Structure 1
Amino acid sequence: MAALFPSQADDAADMPELSEINVTPFIDVMLVLLIIFMVVSPLATVDLKIDLPAASAKPEPRPDKALFVSLKADRSLYLGETPVARAQLGSMLDTQTGGDRQRTLFFQADKQAAYEDVLGVMDALRQAGYLKVGLVGREGE
């Protein structure tokens, strides 16, 4: 075959060797490792046991016209000092705030209130469009 194409044999001898690395398999391996780390890393933080410290920040002064949403231990809900049903919370808030959904509400829950009830009230506030909610707690002793 060399006799048929003598010019190609001469050209091959004159060409320098190519010594470049094919990076395609390297990129494939890196992408697989990236996917593995993305899947595994959130699982590493699930079982951490952390003892959180108590807040020692100075309490903020109360605004002039603060609007409090309160949840008592017996699951009763109050807007200010007025009892309100959870289904009516959005319409009562609209009446009290004049429809101003940018107003900050202050939510306080009894220590004995169930976590499920607290989240239920927070969800009701979110569904009503009130996203600015401040949590009220007792000052440190």
Structure 2
Amino acid sequence: MRFRKHHPEEPEINLIPFIDVLLVVLIFLMLSTTYSKFTELQVTLPVADADRPRDNPREVIVAVSNDGRYAINGRPVTGRSVESLAAELTAASEGNKDTQLIVSADAAAAHQTVIVVMDAARRAGLPKLTFAAQGSQAN
């Protein structure tokens, strides 16, 4: 009697469950990853083009320097508080509520200094507020 040697069958590796698990892990990682690019926003401020400046007798120009000093219509303001700036704005507008306030802030001025001007304008009762922008050099 001849017995054949029994050769064990080669095990077959089924890759489909392995691929399913990898896809689930990949989806989980994609959904749970935080993107640090959104924390580093690059902001480019707009440039305004105007035909020509209008001559409006009812306007007050507030200049904000990069070190936080204020000037109203070219005259320096002594204090840096909201109350002193509001009093100066009320005096400059002569109590006229139709006066337009133009904020001309330095590009390197702190954000808080511009907020102080906006708060002082609200306290002085000047609702018309405009921000000055530099014209583009493309023309």
Task: Please state which band the TM-score falls in when normalised by the shorter chain.
Answer: 0.5 to 0.7
RMSD value, Cα: 2.5
Identity %: 24
- With over 3 angstroms needed to count, the CA separation of the structure-2 counterparts of 1:124 and 1:95, relative to structure 1, is closer
Match 2:114 to one of 112, 115, 118: 118
Q: Is this contact kept in 1: 2:65–2:106, CA < 8 A? A: yes
Pairs within 5 Å for 1:1-141: 54-55=46-47, 57-65=49-57, 66-84=59-77, 85=79, 86=81, 87-141=83-137
Q: Give the SS at the match of 1:111.
A: coil
Provide TM-score, normalisation by structure 2: 0.57
User: How many residues were matched structurally?
Assistant: 95
- With over 3 angstroms needed to count, the CA separation of the structure-2 counterparts of 1:53 and 1:71, relative to structure 1, is closer
Q: Is this contact kept in 2: 1:59–1:139, CA < 8 A? A: no
State the AA in 2 paired with 1:75: G
Write out the 4+ residue segments of structure 1 that deviate beyond 3 Å after TM superposition.
Answer: 49-57
The structure whose residues are more often helix, as a share, is 1
Deviations 1:55-96 (A, max 9, x none): 454345232434211110110011111111233222222222
Q: Is this contact kept in 1: 2:105–2:114, CA < 8 A? A: yes
Provide TM-score, normalisation by structure 1: 0.56
Q: Is this contact kept in 1: 2:86–2:121, CA < 8 A? A: yes
State the AA in 2 paired with 1:118: V
- With over 3 angstroms needed to count, the CA separation of the structure-2 counterparts of 1:96 and 1:113, relative to structure 1, is same
More relative contact order, 1 or 2 (CA 8 Å, 6+ apart): 2
Q: Is this contact kept in 2: 1:69–1:107, CA < 8 A? A: yes
Q: Which runs of 5+ in 2 are unaligned?
A: 1-37
